[in-house]
Amino acid sequence: MPKFLISTVTNAIALWLTTLIVAGTHVTPYEEGNPLAVVLTYLLLGLLFGIVNGVIGTAIKIVAFPLYLLTLGLIALIVNGLLFLLVAWISGLLGFGLSVDGFWWGVLGALLMALFSWVIGLVLRPLARRDRD
């Protein structure tokens, strides 16, 4: 499987697990009552997370590198929470997707999503390596 596809699936599963646990995060599918629409909504949000983190997240990390050093990386919690809220805002413009009830719910959601993505990535990493061989 291509790496971006594994990353998208990982993000989608992590987001699904996050919305099950964090009460302040919700996903609204683009079509109610259709299980395929729910799965596609999570996959689209996973792709959107990958794009936002890859482009905007990387740019912020480069620009704010001194802040990361000064705060010993704790600013990453705030940055990831803001990126989580940005994905919610962008998906809201599309009329479906992620909704977050507030900033701290966004920070908690981003923290749990990062944890779930890391664990799922450990499981799926052998699949990505197998394609390179």
The helix (run of H) or strand (run of E) holding residue 55 is none
Q: Is residue 129 predicted with pLDDT exceeding 80?
A: no
The pLDDT assigned to 38 comes to: 93
pTM value is: 0.87
pLDDT, tens digit (0-9, with 9 covering 90-100), for 54-85? 999 999 999 999 999 999 989 999 999 999 99
Q: How far apart are CA 94 and CA 129, in angstroms?
A: 35
Select from 110, 62, 63 the least CA-distant residue to 82: 110
Label residue 113 left, alpha or beta by phi (over 0 means left) and psi (-120 to 50 means alpha): alpha
Local confidence band at 48 (pLDDT 50, 70, 90 cut-offs): very high
Burial of 28 (0-12, 13-18, 19+ CB in 10 A): middle
The pLDDT assigned to 99 comes to: 94
Q: Is residue 33 predicted with pLDDT exceeding 90?
A: no
